[in-house]
Structure 1
Amino acid sequence: MEQQEEKKKKIKVCKRRRRRRKQSKSGSSLPLDLTSEILLRLPEKSVVRFRCVSKPWSSITTDPYFISLFKTRSPRLLLCFKANDKLFVSSIRQHHQTFDTWNKSYSSSQPIDRYHMDLKFPINFNYFLPTESVQGLICFQESATPIVWNPSTRRFLTLPKLNTGWKDITIFLGYDPVEGKHKVMCIPFSKSCDDCRVFTLGSAQKSWRAVKTNYSHRSNYYTSGRCIKGVVYYLAFVYHMDVWVLMTFDVKSEKFDRIQLPSSDVHKELIPYEGRIGCVDRKRNMKKGIRLWILEDAEKHKWSSKDFLAPLSHFDKSLGCCFLLKGFTSAGEFIYVEQLFRKPSYILFCYPVRNSFRRFELKGITDDQSVLSNVHGYTLHVFPNHVESQLSF
């Protein structure tokens, strides 16, 4: 009897051990949906690094659905400048301050995120400006060849050369939210034409496609596109009409249209405003104000306007430097940035409704003393409302 009882106890112990081993094995492997939720809460650098952990993690982080969810996180203000064949990149979270903090100096000892990259090719950011940040990607050019940059993955993609004979080009970056595709569109720089070239990212496309623009027009140095809800907007000059217009490029259908501008005094700057395109000009009857023309109806060429008690350019007496308007945050703040980055350097956030400013000091943007000691400064490029993207090339 004792032997039988002892045997039963041993069997129970073995069963218990097997059960624990099974539980341990099952517990070490989290459900995929829970793993995805955890990865969505990590910084983009960690997500990229964790792709090497396992095939399931790599599959999760490269899935289009995960990438689209990752983009919905809080937008950031991306900053970059070129110095000593390096690209210095920093990002600041765009958070809307409570009203009691306005008109107070706000600074941080370190940007939330920063890094620098060694450039293996020359970049002329000063003459041909980069595009805006469109769903996490930015496009610029080198020797009339478009290059796509993903700041989150720190990767560059050089697109095929244009066999057009165009010496210089103007590039635009668009995003189709229906099919979830980026497209790069190019037209000749400062030369009238009635066709363009289009390249779809992430497709099997090997060369540029020629697309008719329907309207002969030209760009110039100041042309800068803005992509809003699947449409790229940019200013262009139409020769036979002898007038500047707002051109539109539908990213999905690849069709062009033109919209009459509301005023001949419209400034060169196009700014996204509350989900619509806005054109900035100075308000004539105000010394320190701007008028923002907002496109209400593209088909009817209908515009509305708003006047703000905020200067188009702001001179800070305490700092002895001039700040230029670079865009809007998603919270409706104007972003003013110094034309040249030097030590120290600041960003001004203006809330036009209350005519108030807050100042952000760029501390720790780089530790490179050879860069900081340059008294002439560097051109600082600003990309408001930048979202992180895990799109791989």
Structure 2
Amino acid sequence: MKKRVTRSQKRDESDENDPFSTIPLELKVEILMKLPPKSIAMLSFVSKNWSSIIRSKDFTNLYLTRSSTRPRLLFSVYLPGDVQTRFFQSCSQEDPSSSDHHRVSYTLTSDPRYSFSTPIRGLICGRNGTKMIIGNPSTGQFVTLPRVKTCRQDILSAFGYDPVNDVFKVLCMTVTSRRRRTRHALSKEHQVFTLGPRQKWRMMECKYPHRHYSNSKVICRDGVLYYLASFKDKRSLISFDLRSEEFDVTKLPEDYTLQEFGNLVNHTGKITIASQAYNGTIDLWVLENTNKEEWSKAASVAPSWTDIAGNEHLFTFRGILGTGEIILAMLACPNPYFFICYDPKEKIVRKVFVEGIGDDSAAIQVFFDHVESPMFL
């Protein structure tokens, strides 16, 4: 009778025959640190020894620390059609036009129509109706979360990281009603999901009933989620502490452009709202002191990109790089894809092309300061 060989036995044999078994641990780690996350994920299946190193929290944190010094641009690209596809592509933030590109296709489900939140420590959260997923766009690993328990389809979500307890959390707010002629809706149910085995959605209490803006961006900083909403008929900054799981409200300055066109951005390590009126001028409002609700108007810039891009293109503000450069991108998706970088200090405008993602029908999300991670879920 032929003896059945189990997977664990095969893995033990591969460990014994591993030609790298004599390499010191420090050298193995140094080798892995030079590889992209997708290659590291494949190496985790070589042997138990490689897997134990790669899946350890120490290695993940070390890789994240080094990656944070080389932030990248991350593109989420959805291609509609008879065969719907989704892929993620990252590139050097310093030189997006270079050949330093990493692409990972997303094939978890047959329905890839997800809208993704800003990546946090290498992970990203996507939502499609009441279906939600969390994944690592650098390795292609995604996990499906339990469906949000609500009879309503119109929900809003935010993804963040609590550094004190070292956990990722998703905040989900269902919408109970929508006022006419407004861009926002009243949030009714507030639920939180903590990433981990055997977890489930938990109902939370919100003492500040507010109305969300459908296009509002969410920023996670130091374990707190921030987003813009209407509170007592005034546009305000709402915060949700991921550790205490409590909401708070900060008043915004009485500025018409800020109230009407403001969007949250990452800038100078502080919460910043950028407001862009129809004339192209961009104002940056920086929250200097949260407790005292002190704001300062950091800059007012008017980039002249028409000489490079032409008058026929309509651009919108997308964010600010760690270098301080302001990013503007077309509302449509050009082919080849490009965006505009404006340096407010040097008064320089440049056109940056990114190969491999342009398509007239594509829906593209762009994320800045993305940190690649080899983390397994």
User: Could you say which TM-score interval applies, normalised by the shorter chain?
Assistant: 0.7 to 0.9
- Which ranges in structure 1 are unaligned for 5 or more consecutive residues? 1-24, 98-105, 367-371
Letter in 2 for 1:363: E
The answer as to whether partners of 1:333 and 1:351 remain within 8 angstroms in 2 is yes
Measure how far apart 1:140 and its partner are: 1.9
What is the aligned partner in structure 2 of residue 323 from structure 1? 315
Is 1:306 the counterpart of 2:295? The answer is no
Equivalent of 1:45 in 20, 38, 42: 38
Q: Take 1:280 and 1:87, find their aligned partners in 2: how far apart are those partners? A: 30
Instruction: Tell me if structure 2 keeps the 8 A contact 1:271–1:277.
Output: yes
Change (3 A) 1:58 1:319: farther
Q: CA 1:237 to 1:314, structure 2 compared with 1: closer, same or farther past 3 Å?
A: farther
Residue-pair matches, total: 343
Alignment partners' CA distance in 2, 1:303 and 1:331: 22
Query: 1:310–1:355: 8 Å Cα contact kept in structure 2?
Result: no
The verdict on how the C-alpha distance between 1:392 and 1:107 changes in structure 2, with shifts beyond 3 A counting, is closer
Q: Aligned partners of 1:47, 1:378: CA distance in 2, in Å? A: 30
Q: How does 1:131-210 map to 2 (within 5 A)?
A: 131-189=117-175, 190-193=184-187, 195-205=189-199, 207-210=200-203
Deviation per CA, 1:139-164: give whole Å up to 9, x if none.
12122222223101212222111223
Retained in 2: the 8 A contact 1:194–1:212?
no
For residue 220 of structure 1, report the CA deviation from its aligned partner. Answer: 2.9
SS in structure 2 of the partner of residue 71 of structure 1: helix
| CA–CA distance in structure 1, aligned partners of residues 60 and 146 of structure 2 | 25
**Further displaced range: 86-95 or 302-311:** 302-311
Could you tell me which amino acid in structure 2 is paired with residue 53 of structure 1?
V
Return the offset for 1:216: 0.9
What does 1:334-373 correspond to in 2, within 5 Å? 334-365=326-357, 372=359
Tell me the equivalent position of 2:367.
383
Q: 1:27 to 1:94 in 2, by over 3 A?
A: closer
Q: How far apart in 2 are the matches of 1:53 and 1:77?
A: 30
Change in 2 beyond 3 A, CA 1:215/1:91: same
Q: Distance in 1 between matches of 2:309 and 2:172?
A: 41
Distance 2:236 2:43 in 1: 47
1:54 matches 2:59: no
| Partner AA of 1:167 in structure 2 | Q
RMSD after superposition: 2.6
Alignment match of 1:122 (pick from 104, 111, 128): 111
Distance in 2 (CA, whole Å) between partners of 1:248 and 1:315 is 40
Q: 1:331-362, CA deviations, whole angstroms, 9 ceiling, x for partnerless residues?
A: 22212222222322212222111121222212
The sequence identity of aligned pairs, in percent, is 33
CA distance in 2, matches of 1:208, 1:304: 38
**1:217 pairs with 2:219:** no
Q: What residue ranges of structure 2 are gaps of 5+ in the alignment?
A: 1-17, 176-183
Q: In 1, Cα distance between the equivalents of 2:254 and 2:26?
A: 52
Q: Deviations over 1:78-109 (max 9, x none)?
A: 012211411132211112x8xxxxxxxx844x
Give the superposition deviation at 1:381.
0.6
* 8 Å Cα contact 1:188/1:219 also seen in 2: no
Q: CA deviation at 1:264?
A: 4.0
Give me the TM-score of the superposition, normalised by structure 2. 0.83
Whether 1:33 aligns to 2:14 is no
Contact persistence 1:144–1:167 (CA under 8 A): yes
Larger Rg belongs to: 1
Give the conservation status (yes or no) of the 8 Å contact 1:342–1:377. no
Question: Partner of 1:92 in structure 2?
Answer: 91
Q: Give the match for residue 250 of structure 2.
A: 259
Alignment partners' CA distance in 1, 2:262 and 2:105: 31
Contact 1:313–1:324 under 8 Å retained in 2: no
**What secondary structure is seen at the aligned counterpart in 1 of 2:139?**
coil
* Corresponding residue SS for 1:172: strand
- Residue type of the alignment partner of 1:234: Y
- Could you list the structure 1 runs, at least 4 aligned residues long, displaced by more than 6 angstroms after superposition: 312-315
More relative contact order, 1 or 2 (CA 8 Å, 6+ apart): 1
Q: Which residue of 2 aligns with 1:295?
A: 287
- What is the rounded CA distance, in whole Å, between the counterparts of 2:206 and 2:227 in structure 1? 13
Which one-letter code corresponds to 1:60 in the other structure?
I
Q: Quick one: structure 1 residues 46 and 282, their matched pair in 2 at CA, closer, same or farther if it must change by over 3 Å?
A: closer
In 2, the alpha carbon distance for the partners of 1:249 and 1:82 equals 30
Q: Kindly indicate whether the alpha-carbon contact (under 8 Å) linking 1:315 and 1:322 is maintained by their aligned counterparts in 2.
A: no
Does the aligned pair in 2 maintain the 1:140–1:146 contact within 8 Å? yes
Matches of 1:174 and 1:45, distance apart in 2? 23
Q: Secondary structure at the match of 1:278?
A: strand
| Pairwise CA distance, 1:194 | 5.8
Deviations 1:236-289 (A, max 9, x none): 112xx22111000111111111000123431241101111111112479xx553
CA contact (8 A) 1:231 1:248 kept: yes
Quote the Cα distance in structure 2 between the aligned partners of 1:160 and 1:312: 47
Shift of 1:169: 0.6
Within a 5 Å distance, the mapping from 1:96-115 to structure 2 comes to: 107-108=97-98, 110=99, 112-115=101-104
Match of 1:380, SS? strand
Closer, same or farther: CA 247–200 of 1 in aligned 2, 3 Å: same
**Distance between the aligned counterparts of 2:374 and 2:307, measured in 1?**
38
Q: CA deviation at 1:27?
A: 8.6
The letter of the residue matching 2:292 is K
TM (norm. structure 1) is 0.80
